[in-house]
Amino acid sequence: MTYSYYPGCTLKTKAKDLDVYARRAAIALGIELEEIEEWQCCGGVYPLATDEIASKLSSVRALNAAKEKGQDLVTMCSACHHVIKRVNDDMANVSDIQMRANNYMELEEPYQGETSVIHFLELLRDKVGFDKIKEKVVNPLTGRKIGAYYGCLLLRPSKVMAFDNAENPSIMEEFIKAIGATPVVYPLRNECCGGYISLKEEERTQDMVTKIVESAGGAQAESLITACPLCLYNLNKNNSKVDMPVYYFTELLAEALGVKEEVEG
């Protein structure tokens, strides 16, 4: 199984763990992730104003690169996934955006949303299968009580993201089961961590994060997993109340597959 892969800026810098452990796990699972050439930053946020075109072009370039290879496009970071998936939806369904973006791009063949965008978690669920992962686990994380922190961007708006049930998701809990640990469902797992507001509003972010980690702790979770570098940062930086380590889901996957220590850096 070979896929085009879009890592994104933060996975090359502050969130290297999210990327490195995913690549090691992918090899162990027989998945080939081909990083697309000359990808550009997705912009971090999807531009909601429908007249924004320039800020969507980096996504279109990545989508078209995957199309030219005839591959699905795999994303790892929640924010990149959100942006690229929604731009792809525009390119397939909004004729004005499709026309204007293609006017800029001047491709040999116009891009019309042909590429499938799949998050690595969806790849694990739908292409590999959690049952298969279970079979390949050599170091099950038995006894560890882990809460899934979904946040916003993977789930909402569900009409476009089509990732999971936005109010009662289960994909990350299924993932936690597959690696041998015990999933802990807690009420605030799909609440916002504060996102970019943490830059200027520390107190607000602390309030929001405290509610989330107290909700997880109250349900007996001992740690959390996430797919988003900004969620991880906010949850770590703004929590002074509860002992609640936060991991990228890929780190625990690599650990369970016995490939965590394989190559350092």
Residue 263 buriedness (CB in 10 A; 0-12 / 13-18 / 19+) = exposed
The residue type at 145 = K
> Two tokens at 72?
């699905």
Of the two residues 147 and 151, which places its CB atom closer to another protein in the complex? 151
Q: 194 or 217: whose CB is closer to another protein?
A: 194
d(CA 107, CA 97): 15
Q: What is the spatial distance between Cα 163 and Cα 78, in angstroms, rounded to a whole number? A: 11
Q: Taking CB under 8 A as the rule, does residue 222 contact another protein?
A: no
Q: Which of 3, 5, 6, 15 binds another protein (CB under 8 A)?
A: 15
Given the complex with another protein, which of 101 and 179 has the nearer CB atom? 101
Which is nearer to another protein, 104 or 196 (by Cβ)? 196
When binding is defined by CB under 8 A, the residue of 31, 155, 178, 224 that contacts another protein is 155
Among 7, 169, 195, 217, binds another protein (CB under 8 A): 195
Q: How far apart are CA 183 and CA 221, in angstroms?
A: 8
Report helix, strand or coil for 204.
Answer: helix
C-beta neighbour count of 257 within 10 angstroms:
22
Q: Which stretch binds another protein (CB under 8 A): 37-45, 65-73, 101-109, 142-150?
A: 37-45
CA–CA–CA angle 54, 161, 224 (5° rounding): 110
Residues 236, 227, 26, CA angle at the centre, nearest 5°?
A: 130
Residue 13 structure tokens:
């810098």
Question: Quick check: 168 binds another protein (CB under 8 A)?
Answer: no
Instruction: Give me the 99-138 binding string for another protein, x by CB under 8 A, dash otherwise.
Output: ----------------------------------------
- The answer to whether residue 200 forms part of the interface with another protein (CB under 8 A) is yes
Question: Among 57, 137, 185, 197, which residue interacts with another protein (rule: CB under 8 A)?
Answer: 197
By CB under 8 A, tell whether 245 contacts another protein. Answer: no
Report in angstroms how near the CB of residue 157 gets to another protein at its nearest: 5
List the structure tokens of 54: 């320039």
Q: What are phi and psi of 71, to 5 degrees?
A: -120, 155
For residue 186, the minimal CB distance to another protein (Å) is 16
Q: Contact between 9 and another protein (CB under 8 A)? A: yes
What residue ranges in the chain does DSSP mark as E strands?
A: 2-6, 32-35, 73-75, 117-119, 145-148, 182-184, 223-226, 246-248
- Which pair of structure tokens corresponds to residue 258? 């016995």
Which residues ranging from 40 to 99 are in contact with another protein (CB under 8 A)? 41, 43-45, 47-52, 55, 77, 79
Q: Which residues lie near another protein (CB under 8 A)?
A: 8-10, 13-15, 41, 43-45, 47-52, 55, 77, 79, 152, 155-158, 166-167, 191-192, 194-200, 204, 208, 228-230, 232-233, 236-237
